[in-house]
Structures are given as C-alpha cells and as structure tokens.
C-alpha cells in the first residue's frame, strides 16, 4: 500500500504538475522518487477522460395472450434497472450518498484536495479518506468495461487492473475523475454512480436494490432504507441485506450515514431520531428477481428463443419464429445491455410453440434443453 509524505522536491513537483495543471489549485506533496517516476509514466500514457456509457440491465420479454401483452420472463446478466433523476429517484438516496461518501462532492473538481492534503500531512495511506464519488464512478466504469470483455484472459487482466490496490491505479482514477468532472454535470455523475454501483451479489444500482431488499422502488424508500442502501456501498459483500447475519454491520454504517446527514443539514433531529430507532429487520422485505424462462409456461420455447438470440453471432445460430418479425442476431445482442422490453411474435395459447420446431436451430453454445 502506497503512503504519502514530505519526501522531496522531485516527488513534490510531479503531483504539482499533474493536479495544478488539471485544476489550477494549490500544490500538495506526493510519494517517493520511485513512486513519482511511476506517476510520470502513468500520466504520460493515460487519457484524462472517461465516459458514462450504457450499462447491462434487465430485459422484460412479453408474449401475446388474448390480444394483451403478458410478461413471460425477465432476463439479465446483471440485475439493474436504470433510474432517472427526478421522476424515479428519491432525494433521500442522493443526499445519503453525498453525506456518507463524499461530503464536498458539490465543491470539488473530481478530486478532494483537502482530503488528499490531510492524507499527505499525516503520512497515511492514499486509500484513507481521499476517494470521491467521481473516483468511485471511474473505478466502477472500468470494472464494468472489464467484465464485458469476451476473451477470458483479457477480461481477467482488465479486471485486475481496475481493482488492484496500487499507486498507478489510484493515479489513473484521479486523472480520469478530473476529466469526468469536466465532461459531466454533478447531477450526471451522481446519477451515474447510483445506477452502476454494486449493492450485493448480482444486484446493481439503487432501483434494483430497493426492489430486492425493500420491495419498493427507489423513489419510495424511507430515510432509514435510503441510508441502508448507501451503507452497502462501502462493503457490498459484507453489508448487504440478503442475509440477516449482515444486518448488524449494515446498521453500524447506516447509523453513521444518518449522523452525517444530520450534521450536514440534509435532515433534522426528528427525522434522525425516527430513522435511528428503526430496526433493520423491520424495513427489509427481500424479493429476489429471477433471470430466465422459469415461469414462461407454454411460451417457454418462445422465451428461450428470445433469450438465446441475445447471444447469437451468425444467422446460422438462430431461427425466426416468424420470418417477417424476427430480429437479426446483431440487433438482438443489443437487448441485453440496453435493458429494453422485448416482444415475441408468439401467442401463449399456441401450444405448439412450447416445442422447438424441427427446422429451428438454437445457438450452438447453449440449447434450451441442455441445462
């Protein structure tokens, strides 16, 4: 783990050049000569920008029943539902994230220089107290890009580069966080973080998490629930709400976030007292989301067809249920990441559609009957 301290003018000049050039703010100190040399290399080869792109989310598949669309399946690689700023997302969730994770979010330019300066003066680890919502979003974007890589070796390499605790990775996050703050509004960055962040298991983003843990949308969560959701961000594998054994850890972090919200003026004392007294178990109503065609019944083949088509790469890997209405494999592959609603040209009352036609060929890597 890299540490910071007053270690010479050479190291001093490196981060001065990097941060002052990017932010035009006062200079602070940096690591030793060896680490500073590494910093020079990193900043010479990395762009100072990163984009908030499309994310993998749920796709809902519908079939026709009596002239009405009926949902027969929800499929996803990651259980995520994108939310908007005003119409869906609660202000409580936004405020809890800022209060708990980055109280100077609206004032800094992607990097909290006050926190980094405190780290430097104390000669403590760079990981302590210097991360921002911008940096967290950058890391999550890099992780998502890594897991989307098809080649296993390249995917593993990219993933390790995104999560390994090294100085070069942190410097990479810093320069990209600065670029992110220049390219996007604070609202876009905050919303991007709330939609991308992992919140336990295969659950990503506050909307899917609110529905899973509390059986409500993110707009309708209580103050205690909002703080509990953001409490998961710190350690998703240890503080999520899928297991009662993790409730105590979640509550410790939740209560700290509530205290931060009170201190920073987001809530008043009465709201704080009510939320603080709310037991975690009282709030949690777990509703697991299943991916696949388990409940498609007599439309199972149509559902499997639509699901498999997402992974087809050539015309030979798919067969249309209706030649005129079937999408191409290329367009079907976009269904998964885009998180759209997909309709099959199938009636659930047509019993023969529950069986695979003899002329139909499903993708080679996975057939519906090969579980």
The span from the CA of 308 to the CA of 136, in Å, is 34
In a domain, 257, yes or no: yes
Residue 71 β-bridge partners: 62
Q: Phi first, then psi: what are they for 292, rounded to 5°?
A: 130, -170
**HSE-CB of 96 using CA atoms within 13 angstroms:** 30
The span from the CA of 239 to the CA of 247, in Å, is 7
Residues 252 and 346 placed together within one structural domain of the fold: no
Higher per-residue pLDDT: 170 or 292: 170
Residue 203 β-bridge partners: 79
Q: What percent of the chain has pLDDT over 70?
A: 52
Residues 300 and 238 placed together within one structural domain of the fold: no
pLDDT at 55 (0 to 100):
57
The span from the CA of 265 to the CA of 200, in Å, is 29
What is the bridge-based pairing of β-strands 341-347 and 59-65? parallel
pLDDT at 82 (0 to 100):
79
Cβ atoms 295, 73 nearer than 8 A: yes
How many whole angstroms from its chain centre is CA 331?
Answer: 24
Mean of pLDDT over the chain: 71
Among 262, 283, 304, give the residue marking a domain's end. 283
pLDDT at 165 (0 to 100):
83
- Across 26-30, 230-234, 336-340, the highest mean pLDDT is recorded for 230-234
In a domain, 261, yes or no: yes
Residues 113 and 204 placed together within one structural domain of the fold: yes
Structural domain harbouring 297: 59-75+292-354
Residues 200 and 234 placed together within one structural domain of the fold: yes
Q: At 247, is the pLDDT very low, low, confident or very high (cuts 50, 70, 90)?
A: very high
Q: Is the pLDDT of residue 338 over 70?
A: no
Assign residue 129 the CATH number of its domain.
1.10.3810.10
Q: Is the pLDDT of residue 264 over 80?
A: yes
Look at the chain and count its residues: 371
Q: Is the pLDDT of residue 265 over 70?
A: yes
Higher per-residue pLDDT: 57 or 370: 57
367: its two tokens: 């057939």
Q: At 286, is the pLDDT very low, low, confident or very high (cuts 50, 70, 90)?
A: confident
pLDDT at 75 (0 to 100):
56
Segment 158-171 shows an average pLDDT of 87
The span from the CA of 125 to the CA of 354, in Å, is 59
Following DSSP, what letter does each residue of 71-129 receive, concatenated?
Answer: EEEEE-SSB-----TTTTS-HHHHHHHHHHH-TTTTTSSSS-HHHHHHHHHHT-BTTSS
In a domain, 208, yes or no: yes
Q: At 267, is the pLDDT very low, low, confident or very high (cuts 50, 70, 90)?
A: very high
Query: What is the radius of gyration, based on Cα positions, of the chain?
Result: 24
Predicted confidence (pLDDT) per residue in 18-54, tens digit: 554 544 433 333 344 444 454 444 444 444 556 665 6
Among 240, 256, 283, give the residue marking a domain's end. 283
In a domain, 361, yes or no: no
Residue with tokens 């998961």: 232
Among 257, 283, 309, give the residue marking a domain's end. 283
Per the structure, how many domains does the chain have? 2
Residues 197 and 69 placed together within one structural domain of the fold: no
Task: Indicate yes or no: pTM above 0.85.
Answer: no
In a domain, 51, yes or no: no
Segment 236-263 shows an average pLDDT of 97
The span from the CA of 185 to the CA of 134, in Å, is 11
Residues 255 and 342 placed together within one structural domain of the fold: no
Predicted confidence (pLDDT) per residue in 8-19, tens digit: 334 433 453 455
Residues 228 and 303 placed together within one structural domain of the fold: no
Residues 203 and 173 placed together within one structural domain of the fold: yes
Q: Is the pLDDT of residue 154 over 80?
A: yes
Cβ atoms 134, 180 nearer than 8 A: yes
């Amino acid at each position: 783990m890299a540490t910071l301290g007053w270690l010479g003018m050479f190291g001093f000049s490196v981060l001065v050049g990097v941060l002052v050039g990017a932010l035009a703010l006062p200079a602070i100190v940096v690591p030793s000569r060896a680490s500073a040399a590494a910093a020079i290399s990193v900043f010479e080869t990395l762009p100072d920008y990163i984009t908030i792109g499309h994310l993998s989310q749920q796709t809902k598949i519908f079939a026709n029943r009596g002239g009405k669309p009926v949902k027969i399946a929800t499929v996803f690689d990651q259980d995520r539902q994108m939310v908007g700023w005003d119409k869906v997302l609660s202000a409580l969730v936004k405020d809890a994230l800022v209060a708990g994770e980055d109280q100077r979010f609206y004032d800094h330019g992607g990097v909290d220089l006050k926190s980094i300066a405190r780290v430097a003066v104390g000669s403590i680890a760079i990981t302590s107290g210097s991360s921002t919502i911008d940096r967290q979003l950058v890391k999550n974007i890099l992780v998502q890009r890594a897991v989307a890589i098809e080649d296993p070796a390249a995917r593993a390499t990219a993933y390790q580069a995104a999560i390994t605790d090294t100085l070069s990775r942190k410097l990479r996050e810093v320069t990209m966080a600065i670029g992110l703050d220049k390219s996007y509004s604070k609202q876009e960055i905050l919303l991007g973080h709330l939609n991308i962040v992992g919140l336990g298991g295969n659950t990503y983003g506050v909307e899917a998490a609110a529905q899973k843990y509390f059986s409500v949308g993110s707009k309708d969560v209580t103050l205690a629930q909002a703080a509990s959701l953001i409490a998961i961000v710190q350690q998703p594998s240890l503080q999520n709400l899928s297991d009662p054994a993790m409730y105590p850890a979640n509550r410790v972090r939740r209560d700290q976030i509530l205290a931060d919200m009170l201190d920073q003026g987001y809530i008043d004392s009465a709201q704080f007292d009510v939320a603080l007294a709310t037991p975690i178990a009282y709030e949690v109503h777990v509703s697991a989301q299943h991916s696949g065609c388990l409940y498609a019944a007599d439309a199972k083949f149509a559902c499997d067809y639509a699901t498999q088509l997402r992974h087809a790469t050539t015309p030979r890997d798919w067969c249309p249920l209706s030649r005129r209405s079937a999408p191409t494999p290329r367009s079907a592959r976009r269904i998964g990441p885009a998180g759209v609603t997909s309709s099959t040209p199938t009636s659930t009352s047509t019993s023969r559609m529950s069986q695979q036609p003899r002329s139909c060929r499903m993708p080679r890597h996975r057939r519906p009957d090969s579980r």
